[in-house]
Amino acid sequence: MRLRGLLYSVFALGVFTSQASFAVEYYRYTDERGITVINRQGVPPHLIGKGYEVLSEQGRVIRVVPRAPTPEEYRQMQADKERAKSDRQLLMLYTRIEDIDRARDRKVADIDGQISIARGNLLSVNSLRSDLQAQAASQERAGRTVSASLLKQIEDASIDQQRLQQQISRYLNSKKAIESAFARDKNRLAELLQKN
């Protein structure tokens, strides 16, 4: 008796699954002329991007396949995704506005320290170059020719001056960029904290 019940259950399960696997699906889509088409063959490849609906034999919607986004919509979706990722990172890094201010102050202090070192080095190079030029002037006043090694040292000092000035300029630009980035982050964090 028990075996017969089990046999009926397996048979019924087989019948239901076979009916489900042979269920007919219809596809409803709009063709290039704007006419709604219901078809068992599927959606033509050139129309898949416009979206379609899958219908049961009774005409009920089983699932809806949305249209593909336009390039502009796709770019916007990617930008929104990046913005959400950036917002999550911002909220993980900073819980209050004051945290951003402290982080900015630390970064700016680091750059200010690097600028101070570069300016100190520039003062040393300027002083060295002045001393070397004074030596060259003394040799010329004494009627001697300036040695090649002294001219090379003056040239090297001039190159070092230019390098240090460029370095200071890069540090100042970096400081502006950091202050600007922290200001953007601060404004965005304020918006996010107001929403929550």
**pLDDT confidence of residue 180:** 96
Q: Please state whether 133 falls in left (phi above 0), alpha (psi between -120 and 50) or beta.
A: alpha
Burial of 52 (0-12, 13-18, 19+ CB in 10 A): buried
**pLDDT confidence of residue 86:** 94
**pLDDT confidence of residue 59:** 87
Instruction: Please state, as a whole number, how many other Cβ atoms lie within 10 Å of the Cβ of residue 99.
Output: 13
Res 7 pLDDT > 60: no
Q: Which letter does DSSP use for residue 40 in this model?
A: S
Domain ranges of the chain: 2-65, 75-195
Q: How confident is the model at residue 24 (pLDDT cuts 50, 70, 90)?
A: confident
**pLDDT confidence of residue 183:** 95
pTM, two decimal places: 0.61
Q: How many CA atoms lie within 13 Å of 147's alpha carbon, on the beta-carbon side?
A: 6
List of E strands, 12-162: 26-30, 36-39, 52-55, 61-65
Contact 102, 186 (CB under 8 A): no
**pLDDT confidence of residue 19:** 47
Range name among 44-48, 96-100, 126-130 with the lowest pLDDT average = 44-48
What is the distance between the alpha carbons of residues 106 and 11, in angstroms, rounded to a whole number? 74
Mean pLDDT of 15-24: 55
Res 132 pLDDT > 80: yes
Give me the count of residues in the chain.
Answer: 196
Mean pLDDT of 102-126: 96
Res 110 pLDDT > 90: yes
Res 114 pLDDT > 60: yes
Instruction: Please state, as a whole number, how many other Cβ atoms lie within 10 Å of the Cβ of residue 122.
Output: 17
Instruction: Work out the angle at residue 177's Cα, subtended by the Cα atoms of residues 173 and 183, and round it to the nearest 5 degrees.
Output: 145
Mean pLDDT of the chain: 88
